Amino acid sequence: MQQPDTSSIDTGLVKLLDDYFEVIHAQDLELFDQVFHERCTLYSAQGNELVLRPFDVYRDQVANRQSPKDLGNPRDDQILEIDQISDTMAWAKVQLQMFGGIMQDYLNFVKIDGKWWIIAKLYEKVGEY
C-alpha cells in the first residue's frame, strides 16, 4: 500500500508518528512518555465488551512485556491515512505488526504548548502475519 502524502502535515506530527511506531516496536518507556499524553486513553472492543486502558494501565502493560524488537520481529508499519484538522488537532489511521498480529489504529492528536501528543487510540487486530 502506498503511503499518503504528508508534505502538508506539520513535521512535528510526522515525527510523532515515527516515534509512536518505535515505541510500539521497542517499548522504550522514555519515548512512550513523549508520545502518549498522560491523559490518553486506549479503546477497543473485545468479546463484545468495551475495553478502556488509561495511560497508567497501558504504560504498565508495556513496561511488563517483552517488546516485538526483543522477540526478533521486524518493524513493519505504515501510515494509511492522516488528516491535520487544524494547527492543534489531527488524526491518523496506521497499521503495524506486533506479537504475530497485524494491527490497525486510529490515533487522535492534540498540540499543546507547541508539542504534539497522542490523546486517544482506538485499536483492532485485523490479521495475522
Which CATH number belongs to the domain containing residue 41 in this structure?
Answer: 3.10.450.50
pLDDT, residue 129, reads 85
Asked if residue 44 is part of any domain, the answer here is yes
Asked if residue 48 is part of any domain, the answer here is yes
Asked if residue 115 is part of any domain, the answer here is yes
Range of weakest confidence among 1-10, 20-29, 42-51, 115-124? 1-10
From residue 117, alpha-carbon distances to 11, 66, 101, 125 in Å are: 13, 24, 25, 23
Asked if residue 84 is part of any domain, the answer here is yes
From residue 20, alpha-carbon distances to 27, 49, 50 in Å are: 10, 26, 23
Cβ contact 35:118 at 8 Å: yes
Domain that holds residue 30: 11-128
Q: What is the pTM of this model?
A: 0.93
Task: State the average pLDDT for the chain.
Answer: 95
Asked if residue 90 is part of any domain, the answer here is yes
User: Domain tally for the chain?
Assistant: 1
Cβ contact 124:116 at 8 Å: no
Confidence bin at 49 (pLDDT 50/70/90)? very high
